[in-house]
Amino acid sequence: MTIPDYQSIMLPLLELAGDGETHNIHTAKDTLANQFELVEEEVSLLLPSGKQQKFANRVGWARTYLKKSGLLIYPSRGQFKITERGKKVLEDDPQRITNEYLRQFPEFIEFRKRTRKTTLIEEQANDEKLLTPEEALESAYVNIRNDLADDLLEYVMKSPPHFFESLVVNLLVAMGYGGTQQDAARAVGKSGDEGIDGIIDEDRLGLDTIYIQAKRWQADRSIGRPEIQRFVGALQGKRARKGVFITTSYFSGDAKDYVKGIDSKIVLIDGARLSELMIDFGVGVTTREIYEIRDLDMDYFVEISND
């Protein structure tokens, strides 16, 4: 039997979790391999990168899509467990779970539409088989990045409160603020002033100062205008004009409008932006693969021909 695509794996994977127990992804892969009657050569077949098994990769993506739809949760690293919504799906006895089936869940739609460019590519193609190689690669890259961004926020929320302070320090230093790591760590989170969680230099010479407010709030709790006004008031008390407000949740429309109409320069970083910056500046992430796309160098052949 050929290796099944990840959509064909989703229902068997959910059924495997249907007992309500916590399952290990590696054990699940072996169970599903037996269920699909895959031989050892098929299970061991690697992706072109040569660093991961193709079947294991597809099982992983099936698990990811079920999680994004609220059918599974990750109790801890490498594990998964069915949710009440997942149990309800099994009670409905679907013949197959596909991306189209998962579109009934708003969380999945939000996940797929996280990046407008990728959505447009897929809508124009109307079928992943119609994507050009470059479009397919870009679409896959964005999906992987979105999944990583969600996982980052999830792990930040599961970590102790002091971890968020360290994260803010590490991110700002990685972005070029605060001078050395030691200098930044001494500044951030030490002021104790109402409405201000930390102070950090804008550059290595300390020519200007940026005040910081950091709120680790649940994703469904917004930062409103009153919180921003208190922060701005604290800045004015310090005769400061620059501030960064970082949160794991999101900012209300009123909060964003308020920032646009004041003289102080306030940068708002919500959970989505926070995870993007962590990825871009290598905080809390590691590089798994690097792919290079090479193109034909016409100048080379012209020069050779003229020799």
Whether residue 192 is predicted with pLDDT greater than 70 in this model: the reply is: no
- Short-list 2, 24, 1, 18, CA closest to 97: 18
Instruction: Name the one residue in this structure whose structure tokens are 């290598």.
Output: 282
Q: Which token pair is 180? A: 């050395």
pLDDT confidence bin for 235, thresholds 50/70/90: confident
Q: Is residue 285 part of a domain?
A: no
Q: Is residue 288 part of a domain?
A: no
Whether residue 116 is predicted with pLDDT greater than 50 in this model: the reply is: no
pLDDT confidence bin for 168, thresholds 50/70/90: confident
- Residue bearing the bigger pLDDT, 110 or 226: 226
Q: What is the pLDDT of residue 223?
A: 94
pLDDT confidence bin for 208, thresholds 50/70/90: confident
Calpha distance 95→85 (Å, rounded): 17
Q: How far is CA 20 from CA 16, 88, 127, in A?
A: 9, 12, 35
pLDDT confidence bin for 191, thresholds 50/70/90: very low
Q: Is residue 76 part of a domain?
A: yes
Q: Is residue 241 within 8 Å of residue 208, measured between CB atoms?
A: no
Whether residue 128 is predicted with pLDDT greater than 70 in this model: the reply is: no
Q: Is residue 202 part of a domain?
A: yes
**How wide is the angle at C-alpha 49 spanned by C-alphas 43 and 53, nearest 5°?**
15
pLDDT confidence bin for 222, thresholds 50/70/90: very high
What is the pLDDT of the chain when averaged over all its residues?
84
Q: What is the pLDDT of residue 125?
A: 47
Torsion of CA 190, 211, 278, 281, to 10 degrees: -100
Is the full-model pTM beyond 0.85? Answer: no
Q: Is residue 134 part of a domain?
A: no
3-state DSSP helix/strand/coil percent for the chain, to nearest 5?
A: 55, 10, 35
Find the domain containing 175 and state its range: 161-269
CB count within 10 Å of CB 230 equals: 14
- Short-list 80, 70, 69, CA closest to 32: 80
Whether residue 45 is predicted with pLDDT greater than 60 in this model: the reply is: yes
Last residue of a domain, one of 253, 269, 285: 269
Whether residue 252 is predicted with pLDDT greater than 80 in this model: the reply is: yes
- The answer to whether residues 101 and 190 belong to one domain is no
- The answer to whether residues 3 and 87 belong to one domain is yes
CATH number at residue 252: 3.40.1350.10
Whether residue 2 is predicted with pLDDT greater than 90 in this model: the reply is: no
- The answer to whether residues 6 and 89 belong to one domain is yes
Of 55-69, 112-126, 228-242, the range with the highest mean pLDDT is 55-69
Q: How far is CA 7 from CA 4, 13, 99, 143, in A?
A: 8, 10, 7, 15
Q: Is residue 70 part of a domain?
A: yes
Averaged pLDDT, 78-88: 95
Q: Is residue 282 part of a domain?
A: no
Q: What is the pLDDT of residue 181?
A: 63
Number of domains in the chain: 2
